[in-house]
Amino acid sequence: MYKKLEEKDVNAILETGIEVFSRKGLDRTSIGEVSRSAGVSVGVIYKYFEDKDAFFLACVRYALRELDEALVRAVKTEGDVQAAMRSLIGAVIDHSRRHPSHNALYNEITSGGCRQYAPQLAREIEGRSAAVYAHMMELALADGKARGKPDTRMFAFFFDSLLMTLQFSYSCDYYRERMRIYCGEDITGNDERMTEEFMRFMCGALGV
């Protein structure tokens, strides 16, 4: 009989799964490999997760939950759209640095590594962000801080696309090198410059 794991122990297994899935993808990862890396038996993992796919989905949701909460907090706690955007950019950079494998797993999903779950995960992951960013833009329009009458949902899409690229640029090898090529070799250590230039671009687009 297995002893019930504490939440922190289950989370540690999920972290291990995230690290392995982010490197090898869903198809090339085995539960045995995860269990060996986590230092638990295969049976322990199957006690909490029905099969490999269920474990993978749990890893994805766990990986993105913290970032999602950080982004929502950034928007809700700031009354000004520029302050909210600045907080969002900072949250993305900070999270990407602290949890590179989380963002690498997100990249794996977006690149077609688990095509069978793409529609489901896209609606789960992006649906929340889409609503939050569209609401942020609606507030900007209501306050008269945005030029013209942009389509708030389209603007949310463009903004989130930029944030997603920023995530990958601080956590995925290809995107990190790409960022250095475009922005300079020292950019990965200059968060203030990245934030200011991102803000300059966004404020120009908004006309604020």
Confidence at residue 48, expressed as pLDDT on a 0 to 100 scale = 93
| Core vs surface per residue 109-126: b (16+ CB within 10 A) or e | beeebbeebeeebeeebe
Euclidean distance between CA atoms 208 and 201, whole angstroms: 11
Give the DSSP letter of residue 149.
-
Euclidean distance between CA atoms 47 and 104, whole angstroms: 27
Q: At a CB cut-off of 8 Å and minimum separation 6, what does 149 contact? A: 141
Confidence at residue 8, expressed as pLDDT on a 0 to 100 scale = 93
Cα–Cα separations (whole angstroms), residue 53 to 27, 29, 50, 143, 170:
9, 10, 8, 46, 27
Give the DSSP letter of residue 148.
S
pTM of the model: 0.84
Euclidean distance between CA atoms 85 and 136, whole angstroms: 9
Q: Where are the alpha helices (DSSP H) in 3-117?
A: 7-24, 31-38, 42-48, 52-77, 81-98, 100-110
Euclidean distance between CA atoms 51 and 11, whole angstroms: 17
Confidence at residue 145, expressed as pLDDT on a 0 to 100 scale = 64
Euclidean distance between CA atoms 176 and 167, whole angstroms: 10
Q: What's the CATH fold of domain 64-206?
A: Tetracycline Repressor; domain 2 (1.10.357)
Euclidean distance between CA atoms 85 and 145, whole angstroms: 13
pLDDT < 50 stretches in the chain: none
Confidence at residue 140, expressed as pLDDT on a 0 to 100 scale = 72
